[in-house]
């Protein structure tokens, strides 16, 4: 059983502009999902506390599904929960070159890597590289390829 954060723990929050950016993407016709390797109780709490649960169309968590990124099955489950499939392609935004970027590419998705400086000099095949989520949302919203 997971532990709850102490009552004096600061509430979790998303970065400024993220919820509005996701709302804009959804209004423009994007299906937005979350694929995470996290433990279910921890991740569900994060999604609810931050407002992300209502800002996306669906999500898949390794702690629930029993498979982890980079396995393509987790991406497929997320797509199904969003009411779509991976057949037409799609996009993955992530900060892990193996789990997120390689996994998504194996699933037939295009990718945006959020480079947080934790993989210095790493070779990659991400379609785009950005410093933060707001840049990634802008790429998707503007339809850049």
Sign of CA dihedral 89, 133, 34, 96: positive
Give the DSSP per-residue string, 23-34.
HHHHHTT---EE
Q: Whole-angstrom Cα distance, residue 121 to residue 20?
A: 33
Tell me: cis bond preceding 105? Omega within 30 of 0 counts: no
With a cut of 70, list the residues of the chain below it in pLDDT: 1-11, 144-145
Predicted TM-score (pTM) of the model is 0.86
pLDDT recorded at residue 24: 95
Whether the Cβ atoms of residue 136 and residue 110 lie closer than 8 Å to each other: no
pLDDT recorded at residue 101: 96
Ordered by start, the domain boundaries in the chain are 31-85, 89-145
């Amino acid at each position: 059983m997971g532990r709850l954060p102490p009552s004096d723990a600061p509430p979790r929050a998303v970065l400024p502009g993220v919820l509005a950016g996701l709302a804009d993407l959804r209004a423009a016709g994007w299906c937005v999902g979350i694929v995470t390797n996290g433990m279910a109780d921890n991740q569900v709490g994060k999604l609810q506390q931050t407002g992300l649960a209502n800002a996306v169309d669906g999500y898949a968590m390794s702690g629930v599904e029993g498979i982890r990124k980079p396995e393509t099955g987790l991406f497929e489950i997320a797509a199904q929960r969003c009411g779509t499939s991976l057949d037409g392609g799609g996009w993955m935004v992530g900060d892990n070159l193996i789990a997120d970027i390689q996994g998504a590419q194996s699933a037939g998705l295009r990718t945006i890597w959020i480079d947080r400086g934790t993989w210095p000099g790493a070779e990659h095949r991400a379609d785009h590289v950005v410093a933060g989520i707001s840049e990634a949302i802008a790429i998707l919203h503007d339809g850049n390829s």
